Amino acid sequence: MNVLVTGGAGFIGSNLVKSLVASGDRVRVLDDLSTGYVSNLDDVTGMGDLVVGDVCDPSVVRGLVAGAEVVYHLAALPSVSRSIANPIRVNHVNVDGTVNVLVAARDAGVRRLVYASSSSVYGNAATLPKHEDMAPAPRSPYAASKLAGEMYCRSFAAVYPLETVCLRFFNVFGPWQDPTSQYAAVIPSFITRMMTGEPPVVFGDGTQSRDFTFVGNAIQACILAASAGPQSSGEVMNAACGKRITLLQLIAELNDLLEADFRPTFGPPRDGDVDHSLASIDRAKRLIGYAPWMSVRQGLAATVPWYAARAPTVRVAAGARGGMVE
Is 115 annotated as catalytic?
no
Q: Pick the catalytic residue from 72, 115, 122, 142.
A: 142
Alpha-carbon distance 77 to 89, whole Å? 8
SS (H, E, C) the chain: CEEEEECCCCHHHHHHHHHHHHCCCEEEEEECCCCCCHHHHCCCCCCCCEEECCCCCHHHHHHHHCCCCEEEECCCCCCHHHHHHCHHHHHHHHHHHHHHHHHHHHHHCCCEEEEEEEHHHHCCCCCCCECCCCCCCCCCHHHHHHHHHHHHHHHHHHHCCCEEEEEEECCEECCCCCCCCCCCCHHHHHHHHHHCCCCCEEECCCCCEECCEEHHHHHHHHHHHHHCCHHHCCEEEEECCCCCEEHHHHHHHHHHHHCECCCCEEECCCCCCCCECCECCHHHHHHHCCCCCCCHHHHHHHHHHHHHHCCCCCECCCCECCCCEC
Find the farthest-apart pair of alpha carbons in the chain and give their distance in angstroms, rounded.
61
Q: What residues act catalytically? A: 142
